[in-house]
Amino acid sequence: MFPAARLSPNLSPHVSIHGRVSPGFEAVREAFAENFTSRRELGGACCAYYHGEKVVDLWGGLRNKQTGEPWEEDTMVIIYSATKGLAAMTMAIAHSRGWLDFDRPVASYWPGFATNGKARITVRQLLAHQAGLFTLDEPVTRELVRDLDRLAVVLARQRPAWEPGTRQAYHAITLGFYESELLRRVDPRQRSLGQFFEDEIATPLGLAVYIRLPESIPNTRLATISPPSPLQMVTGFPLRFLFEAFNRRSKINRALRGSALPHDEPRIYARHFEVPSGGGVGTARAIARAYSAFAVGGELGLTQATLDQLAAPATPPTHGFYDECMKGEAQFSLGFMKPSKTIPFGNPTSFGSPGAGGAMGFADPTDGIGYGYVTSQMGTTLTGDPRDVAIRDALYAAIKGRAG
């Protein structure tokens, strides 16, 4: 049974924490509450499944800083690049169904992709950010993104920035577009990635998370994002990364073009619109439940062969895991991020994806964990948001305590 969550005595009277934790996981509730008193949390939620059992489900604070509206049980928020993990789940299902071989060339499924030096790029290289396709030479507009056939032509004629397989560069926005077109080519129903995710993952599992947000979701269920202050950005981000981010010619600046498209001021987030690398909107509960299906197996038709590949170590390009966009080490495999010294999470078998500002979701097959954290206050760290890290540390301490 879940005991009721209690308000931390150190919390501001204006902040309420709601939800439940299983016995033995009380420290996770405390860590979540301390985010509001010690780590500048505004509003958010966290959830964790342990061997298929929901052991943490918490939410609190504000979903909208301007109006003071509270974060509710069903509040959803944009998760930016944590969407990449959800998108990668569709690739894994395609692999389990025999539609996709990670070691075959992308062009074997999508002949037009072979132009401009891309004929030998494998699916594995593309999903590991090793294809040199981190940006598009054409403007990434809302009109282009809505027209999947036109977008496919633009994607296919893009020339790699260097010989594929030699270097790594974070495909911040383009990865999802390439994944979606690849999925359209192998899916017998030719669905977009967002539609496939809804049909084959979200609906069967009953998840409140979308890569293609429908009109039926009211604004009252959506949290707005509060950006960090200029001072927080200067003191939080590495200065080299900050300079690169504001340099229009830099690789990371070019890679992020199109990242603002999911936002829609009158409706908070755009509807019936897909940015599969950065436009996902959902609850922490849904993210954790989806990853639980991958951590434990036995659902969604996932084969053990697929799950074994997801748990395996990442394969580096010839020049190693140094990322030309992020200016530091990161490890990627099959569309997911893998743990590394720079960005540690879970066990070596884990796979997931963080999002700009703090969101995080991952599966840990070793300990049977599915985890999700979301927030309405953007943070400024690239190696693990302190709010998320505090929750995860408490979670793993609780699990270790159970095992002991």
- Specify whether the CB–CB gap between 292 and 205 falls below 8 A: no
Least confident of 80-84, 344-348, 372-376, 380-384: 380-384
The distance from CA 28 to its chain's CA centroid, rounded to whole angstroms, is 22
The three-class DSSP label of residue 289 is helix
As a whole number, mean pLDDT of residues 106-133 equals 98
Q: What are the beta bridge partners of residue 370?
A: 49, 363
CATH number given to 73-380: 3.40.710.10
Evaluate if pTM is beyond 0.85.
Answer: yes
Q: Confidence class of residue 70 from pLDDT cuts 50, 70 and 90?
A: very high
| Cα 328 to Cα 330: distance, rounded to the nearest angstrom | 7
Residue 345 has pLDDT above 80, yes or no: yes
What digits encode the pLDDT tens for the residues 311-328?
A: 999 999 999 999 999 999
What digits encode the pLDDT tens for the residues 170-224?
A: 999 999 999 999 999 999 999 999 999 999 999 999 999 999 999 999 999 999 9
What digits encode the pLDDT tens for the residues 257-290?
A: 999 999 999 999 999 999 999 999 999 999 999 9
| Cα 60 to Cα 32: distance, rounded to the nearest angstrom | 9
| Cα 333 to Cα 102: distance, rounded to the nearest angstrom | 10
What pLDDT shows up at residue 14?
59
What pLDDT shows up at residue 37?
95
Question: Which among 44, 78, 62, 85 has a CA at the least distance from the CA of 263?
Answer: 78
DSSP 163-198: -TTS-B---TTHHHHHHHHHHHHHSTT---HHHHHI
Least confident of 12-21, 107-116, 288-297, 363-372: 12-21
What digits encode the pLDDT tens for the residues 217-241?
A: 999 999 999 998 887 877 777 777 7
Rounded alpha-carbon distances, angstroms, from residue 357 to 112, 194, 281: 36, 22, 14
What pLDDT shows up at residue 90?
98
What pLDDT shows up at residue 228?
86
| Cα 48 to Cα 361: distance, rounded to the nearest angstrom | 10
Question: Which among 364, 385, 395, 386 has a CA at the least distance from the CA of 79?
Answer: 385
Residue 1 has pLDDT above 60, yes or no: no
Count of positions (residues) in the chain: 404
What pLDDT shows up at residue 2?
43
Which amino acid belongs to residue 278? G
Both tokens of residue 137? 């030479």
Least confident of 21-35, 232-246, 282-296: 232-246
What pLDDT shows up at residue 12?
53
Average pLDDT across the chain, whole number: 94
What are the backbone dihedrals phi and psi of residue 74, each rounded to the nearest 5 degrees, phi first? Answer: -105, 15
Rounded alpha-carbon distances, angstroms, from residue 56 to 64, 85, 147, 399: 24, 21, 40, 12
